[in-house]
C-alpha cells in the first residue's frame, strides 16, 4: 500500500471535513475553501482551493481531486 501525506491548509476544514455524502459513495465530497460566493462563466477556468495539500512520494502514481 502506498503512503499519501495529507496536510490541512485551511483551519475551516476542522469544522467541515471532507466526507462521503451518501452510503456507497465512490468518492469523498470536498467543499471549496473560499470566503464568499463566486460565479464561473461558461468557458472560464478558475483554481478553487480545497484547503488540503496531498503528497504522493512515488512518481508512478497520481492523485486527482
| Listed residue (61, 50, 59, 60) closest to 6, CA to CA | 50
Write out pLDDT tens, residues 28-60.
Answer: 888 899 999 999 999 999 999 999 998 888 888
pLDDT of the residue at 1: 66
Residue range 10-33: mean pLDDT, rounded: 90
pLDDT of the residue at 34: 94
- Check: CB of residue 30 under 8 Å from CB of residue 16: no
Architecture of domain 1-65: Distorted Sandwich (2.70)
* Neighbour-count burial for 4-15, b at 16+ CB within 10 Å, e otherwise: eeeeeeeeebee
Q: Is the pLDDT of residue 12 over 70?
A: yes
In sequence order, which residues have a C-beta less than 8 Å from that of residue 45 and are 6 or more positions away? none
Domain boundaries, the chain: 1-65
Task: Tell me the pTM.
Answer: 0.67
Amino acid at each position: 500500500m502506498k503512503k499519501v501525506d495529507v496536510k490541512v491548509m485551511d483551519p475551516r476544514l476542522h469544522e467541515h471535513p471532507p466526507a462521503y455524502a451518501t452510503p456507497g459513495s465512490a468518492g469523498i465530497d470536498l467543499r471549496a475553501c473560499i470566503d464568499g460566493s463566486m460565479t464561473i462563466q461558461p468557458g472560464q477556468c478558475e483554481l478553487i482551493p480545497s484547503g488540503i495539500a496531498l503528497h504522493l512520494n512515488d512518481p508512478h502514481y497520481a492523485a486527482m481531486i
